[in-house]
Amino acid sequence: MWFKSCRMTFACLNRMKSYRYPWTRPYSTSGTTVDSSEVKTFLALAHRWWDEQGVYAPLHSMNDLRVPFIRDNLLKTVANHQPGKPLSGMKILDVGCGGGLLTEPLGRLGASVIGIDPVDENIKTAQRHKSFDPVLDKRIEYRACSLEEIVEETAETFDAVVASEVVEHVIDLETFVQCCFQVLKPSGSLFITTINKTQLSYALGIVFAEQIAGIVPKGTHTWEKFVSPEKLESILESNGLSVQTVAGMLYNPFSGYWHWSENTSLNYAAYAVKSGVQEHQVPAEFVLKEEAEELQATASTNPAVHEELKK
């Protein structure tokens, strides 16, 4: 179209009771955040990631905002950094990495990045593309999996988790966020970009962007799955992630460029930090024996936990 020429196993769960104490491992009873219909949609486009003027042009263009957003906020967390490789020494998990459009620039900034995506064809595309650059080939690892599948082996591993243009495609956002918490180191950073759930995002993000202008392929988004910043902030805060920044992003379909905006009624970026304390609900029946002993020890100092353990 004329616009185109322009641009975890520990997921936490239902039936939980409220405790207020430093987090302990939750146990998944069901457990997926992956919507099979989304997988089908992305599978069909798995070979299109690196066509910079193609269906994923807006995501290529979004790097102009999100890469500096992630870089600059991460640099505030370190005393000094290596010129040229400012993110050197940092471990980043890129969840829903797709073809690696954001994974690669983060690797170029010196970070060790693991990119995961449930669509194996996306991972094949990403692996093929990074293989052309020996530096990236060493710095980036890709895996075809969901977030909940790697939580156990990567608990408290990452300095940062990135989920860019992903949460509007998942089911069970709360579980998704809890997994992000689990894999982050204490004080680790979480970066999310997504689309707000407003009448304007329906009019512009669905009717205009998909059905009229073809900025994104028809069926890319379901308005009901869009996430307001208020809802996202509430889920983050109640899961031990302290929101630092929410900033609006505006796509200009004429120029194909993104701009920061005061207005969050369409796209927005959020940055949160793992605070380490959660108002979590942990189902007593899901707490392993050693966890119960740990809690028992805690109970001696915390009556609230003591009460819960008696139930």
Please tell me whether residue 165 binds Mg ion under the rule CB under 5 A: yes
272 near 198, Cβ under 8 Å? no
Binds 199, which of Mg ion, ligand SAM, ligand LBOMCSWG, none (CB < 5 to 8 A, cut-off by type)?
Answer: ligand LBOMCSWG
Residue written as token pair 């593309």: 129
Give the C-alpha separation, 187 to 277, whole Å. Answer: 11
Closest CB to Mg ion among 63 and 281? Answer: 63
Please tell me whether residue 119 binds ligand SAM under the rule CB under 6 A: yes
Q: Is 311 exposed, middle or buried (0-12, 13-18, 19+ CB in 10 A)?
A: exposed
Please tell me whether residue 104 binds ligand SAM under the rule CB under 6 A: no
Contact with ligand SAM (CB under 6 A): which of 12, 87, 97, 184? Answer: 97
**Strand order through the sheet with 267-274:** 140-144, 112-117, 91-95, 158-164, 184-195, 267-274, 241-252, 257-261
Is 259 annotated to bind a ligand? Reply is: no
Instruction: In angstroms, give the least distance from the CB of 216 to Mg ion.
Output: 8
Contact with ligand SAM (CB under 6 A): which of 34, 87, 109, 192? Answer: 34
Binds 164, which of ligand SAM, Mg ion, ligand LBOMCSWG, none (CB < 5 to 8 A, cut-off by type)?
Answer: ligand SAM
**Could you say which DSSP state residue 284 is in?**
G
Please tell me whether residue 98 binds ligand LBOMCSWG under the rule CB under 6 A: no
Contact with ligand LBOMCSWG (CB under 6 A): which of 170, 209, 227, 282? Answer: 209
Which tokens belong to 213? Answer: 């202008």
Is 242 annotated to bind a ligand? Reply is: no
Which tokens belong to 205? Answer: 């993000």
Please tell me whether residue 34 binds ligand LBOMCSWG under the rule CB under 6 A: no
Which tokens belong to 203? Answer: 């009019």
215 near 58, Cβ under 8 Å? yes
- Strand-pairing partners, residue 190, are 161, 272
Please tell me whether residue 135 binds ligand LBOMCSWG under the rule CB under 6 A: no
Q: Is 182 left (phi over 0), alpha (psi -120 to 50) or beta?
A: alpha
Single out the residue of 269, 239, 229, 243 nearest to residue 174, CA to CA.
239
- The amino acid at residue 285 is E
127 near 53, Cβ under 8 Å? no
Give the C-alpha separation, 300 to 150, whole Å. Answer: 33
Binds 136, which of ligand LBOMCSWG, ligand SAM, Mg ion, none (CB < 5 to 8 A, cut-off by type)?
Answer: none
Please tell me whether residue 216 binds ligand LBOMCSWG under the rule CB under 6 A: yes
Q: Which residues bind Mg ion (CB under 5 A)?
A: 165, 168
Enumerate the known binding-site residues: 66, 96, 117, 164-165, 168-169
Summarize as ranges the residues that interact with ligand LBOMCSWG (CB under 6 A).
Answer: 55-56, 58-59, 165, 195, 199, 201-205, 207-209, 215-216, 220, 223, 250-253, 266-267
Binding residues for Mg(2+): 165, 168-169
Enumerate binding residues for ligand SAM (CB under 6 A). 33-34, 38, 42, 59, 95-98, 101-102, 117-119, 122, 146-147, 164-166, 169-170
Binding annotation for S-adenosyl-L-methionine: 66, 96, 117, 164
